[in-house]
Amino acid sequence: MHNNPAELALREYVVKRKISNGTRTKGGTKAWDVFLSLLDTCQKNDVNFYAYLRDRISNSYEMPSLASIILERSQADPL
């Protein structure tokens, strides 16, 4: 067993934080965390991040929610 996916996800966050010199407020940190979490979840579930954001911001809801995608995958691939 290894935790390479977790380390890789964290590494991406650390590199982005290093390049941008971090955030200035607690709200900025929370927004940063939310968007990076969405990005990572989209990548892991083969969902286009920008298309997903556009779908949610426009309130068109043509794409399924990430929660429903994760639930569907968990039921399709039992351990």
What tens digit of pLDDT does each residue of 8-58 get? Answer: 777 877 887 788 887 889 998 899 889 988 998 999 999 999 999 999 999
Q: For residues 46-74, give the mean pLDDT.
A: 95
Secondary structure class of 45 (helix, strand, coil): coil
Q: Please indicate, yes or no, whether the overall pTM of this predicted structure exceeds 0.85.
A: no
What is the rounded distance in angstroms from the CA atom of residue 9 to the CA atom of residue 7? Answer: 5
3-state secondary structure (DSSP) of residue 16 = helix
- Token output for 4: 């390479």
Inter-residue contact 66 to 52 (CB < 8 Å)? yes
